Structures are given as structure tokens and as C-alpha cells.
Structure 1
Amino acid sequence: MELNDVASCLEALGNPVRLQVFRTLVRSGPQGLNFGQLQERIGIPRSTLAHHLGTMVQAGVLRQERDGREVFNRIDFARLQLALRFVMAECCQDSPAG
């Protein structure tokens, strides 16, 4: 994963509402939540939720998948792990204990 990709992922989570959405979806696991379920749990207007979801999809933090008439929102756990691995890859490299 490249620096700009990781920065985009982290930037998408740098908003309190998006972080709340993210945490709610993490709790739901790989099956995710449909739009209505997510809106019910977060308690924000549909247009606001749609805006935040769009930002997160564009950053690659989550995926939206259609199943019939429903759209499910799912965290891209593999991409998230890559981003965190990138951030932690050089942990303690400059420490005297190395």
C-alpha cells in the first residue's frame, strides 16, 4: 500500500461521524449493514449518511454491495489491515533498543 492510499484511508476516518459509522460497521462484522440498519443505529439524516458513506467508499475504507433492492455497507477489512500494517511497519526502528 502506498503512502497516499494510507493517508486517504486515515483521512476518511478523521471525522467524528465517519468514525462512528466505521465503528458501527466494524461491530457488524464482514456481513455489514444495509443503509436502513446503519441509519437506524447512527441516527442521522439519510442525506448526511449518504455523503459520509460516499467519502468512505471513495477512500476505500468500505465497500457497498447491492443485494436486490438493498445496498450493504461493509468494511474492507483486508485494506484496513494493509493500511495499519503500513503505519506500524517501522515501529521502534529508531529506538535505541531497535
Structure 2
Amino acid sequence: MEDSQAASCFAALAHPVRLRVFRALVVAGAGGLTPGALAQNLVLPAATLSFHLKELMHTGLVLAQRSGRHIHYRAALERMNALLAYLSENCCQGQSCLSPPSLFCNLLEPQHD
């Protein structure tokens, strides 16, 4: 991940509502959540949620997948892991101080059709 990409991700996550949305999607796992479920869980108006989802999708931290008439949003775990790797790339002067399983999310993302 390049510096500019990481900065965009951090800027998106720097807003409290977007951070709450992203964390809720990480908790939801690979199945993700519909906008209705997200809005209800986070007590957000639909228009506010839509704005913040758009910002998170712009950075690649959130993906949208249509399932029939519904859209499911989910955290882009590969992108999240790339951001974590960016942060820890030179940790401890290049020495391995954290084992990969404890550092990264290993949830499998659903396959795209």
C-alpha cells in the first residue's frame, strides 16, 4: 500500500460515524449487512449512512454486493489487512514482533460470482 492510499483510508476512518460503520461491518463478517440493518444498529438516518458508506467505498475499505433486491455492504478485509501491514511494515526495526495470525483478520471474504 502506498502512502497516499493509506492516508485516504485513515482520513475516511478519522470520522467517528465512518469508524462506527466500518467496525460494525468488520463485526458482521463476510456476510456483511444491508443498509437498513446498519442504520438500525447504529441509529443513523439513511441519508447519513449512505453518505458515509460512499466515502468508505471510495477508499476501498467497504465493498457493496447486490443480492437480489438488496445490497449488502461488507468490510474489505484484504484492504484492512493491507492497511495493518502498512502500519506494521517497519515495526520493531524490521524484526518480527507480532505473529501474522494475531495481527491480521483471517476471515474469508465471500467469492464473487
Query: Is the pair's TM-score, using the shorter chain for normalization, greater than 0.5?
Result: yes
1:77 & 1:65 partners in 2: Cα distance? 14
Which amino acid is the alignment partner of residue 12 of structure 2?
Answer: A
Runs of 5+ unmatched residues, structure 1: none
Matched, 1:88 2:85: no
Matched, 1:11 2:42: no
> How many residues matched?
94
**TM-score, structure 1 length as denominator?**
0.91
Structure possessing the higher relative contact order (Cα contacts under 8 Å, 6 or more residues apart): 1
Cα distance per residue 1:3-61 (max 9 Å; x no partner) = 11111111111011111111111110111001111111011111000000000000111
One-letter amino acid of the counterpart of residue 48, structure 1: T
How high is the sequence identity, in percent, across the aligned residues?
38
Unpaired runs of 5+ residues, structure 2, are: 95-113
2:26 aligns with 26
**CA distance in 2 between partners of 1:63 and 1:92 (Å):** 32
Q: Does 2:60 match 1:47? A: no
How far has the Cα of 1:92 moved from its partner? 2.3
> Within 1, Cα distance between the matches of 2:87 and 2:46?
33
- TM-score, normalised by the number of residues in structure 2: 0.79
> Could you tell me how far 1:79 is from its partner in structure 2?
0.9
